[in-house]
Amino acid sequence: MSASVTEQTEKLVQPILTDMNLELVEVEFTKEGKNWFLRVFIDKPGGVDIEECERVSEQLSERLDDSDPISTPYYLEVSSPGAERPLKKPADFHAHIGHHVYVKLYQPIDGAKEYEGILVSFDENEQAKLEIKDKARTKYVEIPFKKMAKARLAVSFN
């Protein structure tokens, strides 16, 4: 059920976001305790504000009521992905070159399944190059997009 709900929600929200020059980061439909939540994460360069989230929520709520893709009661939440926004698509990586990122892998590369560092590049073969600190040394690791289980921006305190 949740895959079709997220896909239908993406189709309903995309025209709203296009009109407002906003980007869809992620849609999730998840149960927490006894309640269902439909969460829509939106963004734009410089971030989104509460008024933009409210406008998207109001318009999306109307479209969801009209098409009625969800049979169970749920809460709709529209928000920014925050400082540690997920990186889901190759375009997300291209847009965040030079940023501090965290990547978790399906299988180890060079003995590790998790890396955090500066995203130096993301090439045409969908391979990310990260600059990481290993004790006092700087080194580089190349990670294929298809081997990433999860990736997100990371807050750096250096």
Q: Which H, E and C letters describe 40-99, residue by residue?
A: EEEECCCCCCHHHHHHHHHHHHHHHHHHCCCCCCCEEEEECCCCCCECCCHHHHHHCCCC
> Does residue 100 sit in the same domain as residue 149?
yes
Angle between helices 2-19 and 50-67 (to 10 degrees): 130
Given 50, 79, 108, the domain boundary residue is 79
Residue 1 has pLDDT above 50, yes or no: no
Is residue 67 very low, low, confident or very high in pLDDT (cuts 50, 70, 90)?
A: confident
- Comparison of pLDDT for 104 and 1, the residue scoring more: 104
CATH number for the domain including 108?
2.30.30.180
> What is the overall mean pLDDT for the chain?
92
Q: Give the pLDDT confidence score for residue 68 in this predicted structure.
A: 83
Contact 71, 108 (CB under 8 A): no
Judge if 102 and 141 occupy the same domain: yes
Residue 133 belongs to domain spanning: 90-153
Q: Can you tell me the mean pLDDT for 77-82?
A: 92
pLDDT of residue 2: 53
Name the phi and psi angles at 143, rounded to 5: -130, 120
What is the model's pLDDT at position 47? Answer: 87
Euclidean distance between the first and the last CA atom of the chain, given in angstroms as a whole number: 43
The stretch 52-65 carries a mean pLDDT of 96
Averaged pLDDT for residues 37-56:
93
> pTM for this structure?
0.76
Neighbouring residues of 30: CB distance < 8 A, sequence distance ≥ 6: 2, 36, 37, 39
Distance from CA of residue 150 to its chain's centroid?
10
